[in-house]
Structure 1
């Protein structure tokens, strides 16, 4: 059955039921909250964000500039969505009251189709229990096993970093060699993940309506096994591949668990032997961690590294200063000695470069949440009504959908200054004055915030530190002829793609010269 017929059927059913669901049970926001007009009653502004801008974030930036840091946009069938880049509101939603704002159901449906009930999708007590188990494997003692080798001349750096990130994650998380760098032609998972990110769909009207129908009518989810669309087929293919490689590893880890095993999977399996039920997962939950770990750990690192070297290629002064910082550490620790975690964390410019790339290009444009209770959300930047009244808090009802705007917050000039849209790693050399705590790293939203921050953010930072150090030490980077065509493409995740050639997948073509 084709994707058009599949989602066309969902659309027809959803439209037939829309009046009932919308007018009897939808949440609504106060009329004084401003926002842009909706181009479509069926799909709302949500599709506009993905399909009607070349550069991820530009449309949201224009809205925040015109209407303020907290706005109202329209979702499927005219439902209200609260979108905010306000630091105080984000702190409340993601940190202070995190378990009162669950992940939006439509996101959980998509992630469930890809990987099952893993750490990325569960809520409440289930999430807290899984996190206790998984978090053990990302302690600093397990971040010291990366050995990165480099090669190149004129290189698609996004492709190279994708392979390097997959190999590093495979070794650290599973003690498994995907051979994405050494044997890319025969790396099955490398091919699957590359295709998965290459063809990540934009959010079409049919997809939005289909997800809405799956959320409102849960029994419809059972039909996916019999009438899968192209998106679901791709997710299931990825899930099946993850199960294929992870099942034997889990069985082996159960037999071999001891205190010397340091990869993530072994630590999870070992923790799962605990007599304490709060530190155990079911076998299904255990197996379902692999797809979530791979997508979260590989995609974000790859994209951020690609953008890091995009900016370094355009900023030779910072590139050379970073090279000097690296050489100073080499002189101190010795040319044959690997850098320690403390060496990396002590490199001020290296960390400034990583933080600035993360700030400018979060992998997710927004973090969707849904209020599980009636709430009052506080604001630091007030809404100014038509009669001049300043509103410092917003009442929301249970079920209200909220978009925590990562792009908007990461480039909010109230927080980051008038050059918030510009590359300026020097801003991090003097700690920015932050009134509100929002994100876990550099106070950006690139790894999320609160109890639902990226479970492997420390590993991701370490991986970016290692790879950036090795690549800057050994090579010099300049823009190629095609580099100026690279734009942040607003798909399911934000990836660097070339203007007019988005269909070719993520690319970052740079001139790479050995030193």
Structure 2
């Protein structure tokens, strides 16, 4: 009997080891695709893809290997790094139900935000977007514009008090982060997080700023979540989190708790106002025009099959705040840094803004979004420096990926389509697509807002990039495109319209290093670990 047990255990151990290591010993259809060698036996190229200093590796995938390249994942698995336009169309639009979000991404987001847009698939995801789409329409953006201006005027006044007679160095990332949080708070949730005064710090805002770096630190643990989650109830996970040895894991737990507590408080306040009637709703900060008030009312009126449960409404709140804060604030910080270094560009856009309205007047919505040079600066910044440089997908079944142009395989043969096995990780090269010299020209790596003031290269239009915005992949495309990209665009333009007519931006004394992350973020120098970006400001 004992020998039979030992034999069974041995067979089980061999089966487990074969499952773990079979990728090392079996051939893959991807082996003929060129790409870098693995740098770790266990992790493949994961350490190269996911670290603060990953720019060289990501740009190397574009420059050295072209529109499709192979990389190694953990335990000998193979993946593809893609920015070929035809392949992107299939990944993002035509075959998007096969190229799904990775299981670790969905599981991690569900643990962080709940069953939100970032954690659902298929019909479930479609129902959520259907209820949210109307509040991100152009017409609704017009109604939100006065809210945006009120918040940004408070920002301007707060910065003004910090500046002396000489140019003063200010942490503009902190102000952009606080402003982005307050904008999504008022226009998104009908709630004020931050009065935007000099001596006030917001625990929620700080939690959001800490989330991105900590997610990067814990990436390898996040990848394991799908394998552990089926066996542990969330309540058990929360209980065990109190005994975690890792400081980063404990901080991650605290951030999730802060977001959940705040979301529930805001939700209950809005629910109570809705129950009292329209007059109580209008008296709130967003005057009933904020995204969550409209979503909650729409959900009450929705048919039974389209209605979202309360837990999903709650999860959309945390999801909305997270998605609309770091991405936009960091994009704005990047634009201000560029303008501080390109004084002729800054002067030109300031002149355009002053021609549109006097210094203390708000530029109307239609005039603001129609300013060509301001729009060109936003587009060029988001093309060259997308806040998210790459996104992951995972094939749910075997599929053939077609290519725009044939590539040369490792064995020298021409490849026009690639058989992609089930459970292959795909990296969508957002930054790589936006800088594709075959489409944008040899100056694709240069900041040239003027390129948007004349017809784009013919190759750009013919490529049919599946992005939802400006032939770029910055806001993705298809059924999982960034639902709030119009919100983000308006936010950026209102902030620039107010600040550039009030201050002159100059380079600061502290070195700025942009770190690669799930959302790229700046620090003081390459060795810095805390998000910050200092510029000098001068009163106009």
User: In structure 1, what is the equivalent of residue 68 of structure 2?
Assistant: 70
Question: In the alignment, does 2:533 pair up with 1:508?
Answer: yes
Instruction: State the SS of the aligned residue for 2:501.
Output: helix
- What TM-score, normalized by structure 1, do the two folds share? 0.88
Instruction: State the SS of the aligned residue for 1:513.
Output: strand
Question: In the alignment, does 2:528 pair up with 1:495?
Answer: no
Instruction: State the SS of the aligned residue for 1:510.
Output: strand
User: In structure 2, what is the equivalent of residue 41 of structure 1?
Assistant: 41
Do the aligned partners of 1:385 and 1:391 also contact (CA within 8 Å) in 2?
yes
Instruction: State the SS of the aligned residue for 1:288.
Output: helix
Counterpart pick for 1:252 among 269, 290, 293: 269
Counterpart pick for 1:415 among 439, 442, 447: 439
Instruction: State the SS of the aligned residue for 1:364.
Output: coil
Report the CA distance between 1:410 and its aligned residue. 1.8
Distance (whole Å) between structure 2 residues aligned to residue 22 and residue 263 of structure 1: 52
Report the CA distance between 1:37 and its aligned residue. 0.4
Q: How many residues align?
A: 490
Question: In the alignment, does 2:225 pair up with 1:188?
Answer: no
Long gaps (5+) in structure 1? 1-13
User: In structure 2, what is the equivalent of residue 5 of structure 1?
Assistant: none
Q: Pairwise CA RMSD of aligned residues? A: 2.6
Do the aligned partners of 1:85 and 1:404 also contact (CA within 8 Å) in 2?
yes
Residues 15 and 169 of structure 1: CA distance in aligned 2, closer, same or farther (over 3 Å) = farther
Residues 18 and 288 of structure 1: CA distance in aligned 2, closer, same or farther (over 3 Å) = farther
User: In structure 2, what is the equivalent of residue 370 of structure 1?
Assistant: 394
User: In structure 2, what is the equivalent of residue 93 of structure 1?
Assistant: 91
Do the aligned partners of 1:28 and 1:400 also contact (CA within 8 Å) in 2?
no
Instruction: State the SS of the aligned residue for 2:50.
Output: helix
Distance (whole Å) between structure 2 residues aligned to residue 19 and residue 95 of structure 1: 36
Instruction: State the SS of the aligned residue for 1:476.
Output: strand
Task: Write out per-residue CA displacement over residues 12-59 of structure 1, whole angstroms, 9 at most, x where no aligned residue.
Answer: xx99956424528999443211110011122221211233x73x5321
> What aligned pairs does 1:429-440 form with structure 2 within 5 A after superposition?
429-432=453-456, 433-435=460-462, 436-440=464-468
Report the CA distance between 1:386 and its aligned residue. 4.4
Report the CA distance between 1:218 and its aligned residue. 3.6
Counterpart pick for 1:349 among 359, 369, 373: 373
Report the CA distance between 1:329 and its aligned residue. 0.8
User: In structure 1, what is the equivalent of residue 382 of structure 2?
Assistant: 358
Do the aligned partners of 2:30 and 2:70 also contact (CA within 8 Å) in 1?
no
User: In structure 2, what is the equivalent of residue 384 of structure 1?
Assistant: 408
Instruction: State the SS of the aligned residue for 1:200.
Output: helix
Distance (whole Å) between structure 2 residues aligned to residue 29 and residue 270 of structure 1: 51
Instruction: State the SS of the aligned residue for 2:538.
Output: strand
Do the aligned partners of 1:238 and 1:291 also contact (CA within 8 Å) in 2?
no
User: In structure 2, what is the equivalent of residue 283 of structure 1?
Assistant: 310
Do the aligned partners of 2:105 and 2:223 also contact (CA within 8 Å) in 1?
no
Residues 353 and 275 of structure 1: CA distance in aligned 2, closer, same or farther (over 3 Å) = closer
Instruction: State the SS of the aligned residue for 1:95.
Output: helix
Counterpart pick for 1:57 among 33, 55, 58: 55
Question: In the alignment, does 2:29 pair up with 1:20?
Answer: no
Report the CA distance between 1:74 and its aligned residue. 0.9
Distance (whole Å) between structure 2 residues aligned to residue 27 and residue 428 of structure 1: 46
Residues 178 and 27 of structure 1: CA distance in aligned 2, closer, same or farther (over 3 Å) = farther
- What TM-score, normalized by structure 2, do the two folds share? 0.84
Which sits farther off after the overlay, 94-103 or 32-41? 94-103
Residues 60 and 500 of structure 1: CA distance in aligned 2, closer, same or farther (over 3 Å) = closer
Report the CA distance between 1:155 and its aligned residue. 1.1
Report the CA distance between 1:398 and its aligned residue. 2.4
Question: In the alignment, does 2:224 pair up with 1:213?
Answer: yes
Instruction: State the SS of the aligned residue for 1:362.
Output: coil
User: In structure 2, what is the equivalent of residue 224 of structure 1?
Assistant: 237
Distance (whole Å) between structure 1 residues aligned to residue 467 and residue 481 of structure 2: 8
Instruction: State the SS of the aligned residue for 2:513.
Output: strand
Report the CA distance between 1:60 and its aligned residue. 1.6
Which sits farther off after the overlay, 86-95 or 379-388? 379-388
Task: Write out per-residue CA displacement over residues 416-453 of structure 1, whole angstroms, 9 at most, x where no aligned residue.
Answer: 21111111111111242422132112222221221111
Residues 253 and 506 of structure 1: CA distance in aligned 2, closer, same or farther (over 3 Å) = same
Residues 169 and 390 of structure 1: CA distance in aligned 2, closer, same or farther (over 3 Å) = same
Do the aligned partners of 2:44 and 2:75 also contact (CA within 8 Å) in 1?
yes
Report the CA distance between 1:242 and its aligned residue. 2.3
